A and B are shown apart, each in its own frame.
Chain A
Amino acid sequence: MVLNILFGILGVFAIIFLEGLLGAFLGLRIFFVVYVFLFKKIGWRSLLLLSIPILLVFDVAYVFPFGTNILMAGLSLGFLMILGKFFSLDSVLTSFFLFFLTFLLYYILFSVLPSFLVSGEFGYIGVGGFGAMIVKSLVSSGLVVLLEYGASSLRNRGNSSQIRLK
């Protein structure tokens, strides 16, 4: 139990460090990639309890008003759930497309929502900025698909080691 708590704390610090590193390096928000990946993998309560403290930490790190990151993540995930009602998330191609739209919305919100919450005016997105958002969304979607693929192959490997009795 104590070990789990220690690993949890270290994991939180690791994800904060990675978020800062990849944010400065490529402009990617790695935690939201993990957040989307974990959606439907773990229970919604666990995901909520895990994400709220980390997203509050990011609010402090980015000097956003408290709750900004939680709102952005919640809105984007809600958008994914609505899209999921109309399209299947089981196919790789459609899921990639849906993830792409979700990440695009997240990056758009990331540019406009904080300034709206601070000053009441939406942030400006230029053509170059929008192009960068598309590229980042494509990379993020690719990462989620890769993580999905990696997780499914791990599951299959786990099953192959089990002995089945007919």
Chain B
Amino acid sequence: MKKTAQEKSSREYLLVVFSLFAGLFFFLLDSVGFIKWLDEAISFVVTPVVYEGDRVGGVGREYLETFVDIKKFREEYNQLKVVMYEKDVENAFYALLEEENDSLKKQIALGNEDQKYIMSKVLSDREYDFIRINKGEKSGVANGDVVVLGNMFVGVVANAGESSSLVRLATSRNSNFEAVVVRGGVEEARLSEDLDVLSKGVVVGSPDGIRIENMSMNANLQNGDVVVLNDAKVGEYLILGYLVGLSENPAATSRTGYVSPILDYDDLITVFVIGNF
């Protein structure tokens, strides 16, 4: 005789009864340690499967959590960006401080101890043949003042404003100075008694660089000799750069060449104006 659906349903509670009974039975067996061997056997067989499933699921969960927490990550990213900018600003400040320290050291080591200098900062990148500095008439800067770094010539103040000034570089076509060509190091070139003058000349700014003209044909000149300004407008010996592109025409009455500036005008940050107090 077939069992009716009602009879089948009435026996489903046995599943619960047997489950509870089995659960308690296994728990009691485990409590007294009777089925330790079963634990070890099952563990040996299924642990790799469970571990692998757990590992794959864990990887998926990490991706899911990243996706869920994306707003938090964005906020952290923005905070980190702000921190990074703050560090950049700090670094820039320290870099400027370091540069200023180097410039001051150079000025103390190579500058004229009898002179008084006005320390100033270059405000903008080189504009044609000029640079702008952050000191003007208020600080004692006047037109015609010489701007230096150590014993190296930078330019002459062409227009002194109230709190900033325009400095004309040696590359300007309006710049012309008397100069001497010497052989020796940059450090020694400041004092006249140490100078081994090879020739005199005239330095003129030009579109293709700083030209030096009217040098003696008989002088033993070489490319790489040091060009030092020796002009009343400058007032003291200041190094301009190195002699390059020396002319080799035996029929000429004088020799010409170019001056490679010792300073890179594009990288100048701290310069010193020779004060006329």
Contacts and interface: CB of A to CB of B under 8 A. Distances in A.
A77 B152 CA distance: 94
B50 A61 contact: yes
Nearest to A22: B57
A17 B52 contact: yes
B1 interface: no
A66 B27 contact: yes
Contacts of B55: 24
Interface residues of A, number: 39
B20 A18 contact: no
B57 A47 contact: no
B80 interface: no
Contact of A81 (B16, B20, B26, B57): B16
Contact of A66 (B11, B19, B30): B30
Interface in B12-71: 12-16, 18-20, 22-31, 35, 38-39, 42-43, 46-47, 49-58, 60-61, 64
A19 B46 CA distance: 12
Contact of B27 (A40, A77, A117): A117
B42 A60 contact: yes
A66 B50 CA distance: 17
Interface string A21-61: 11111100000000000011001100110011000110111
B53 A75 contact: no
Of A61, A75, A117, most B-chain CB atoms within 10 Å: A61
B49 A20 contact: yes
Contact of A21 (B23, B29, B54): B54
A109 to B, nearest CB: 11
Given A13-B49, A56-B42, A67-B23, A44 B11 contact: yes
A56 B50 contact: no
Contact of B38 (A21, A56, A71): A56
B57 A23 contact: yes
Contacts, number: 126
B26 A20 contact: no
B238 to A, nearest CB: 75
A48 B54 contact: no
Given A66-B30, A66-B39, A67-B27, A73 B53 contact: no
B52 A74 contact: no
A65 interface: yes
A65 B46 contact: no
A21 B46 contact: no
A68 interface: yes
Contacts of A17: 49-50, 52-53
Contacts of B19: 48, 51-52, 70-71, 73-74, 77
Nearest to B60: A25
A129 interface: no
Contacts of B25: 67
A81 B10 CA distance: 11
12 contacts: A17-B50, A18-B53, A19-B50, A21-B53, A25-B60, A39-B15, A44-B12, A66-B39, A70-B19, A74-B19, A81-B12, A81-B13
Given A20-B51, A71-B20, 18 more contacts: A16-B50, A20-B50, A21-B57, A21-B60, A26-B57, A26-B61, A39-B12, A40-B12, A47-B15, A48-B18, A61-B46, A61-B47, A65-B27, A65-B30, A68-B27, A71-B23, A74-B22, A81-B13
Interface of A: 13, 16-26, 39-40, 43-44, 47-48, 51-52, 56-57, 59-61, 65-71, 73-75, 77-78, 81, 117
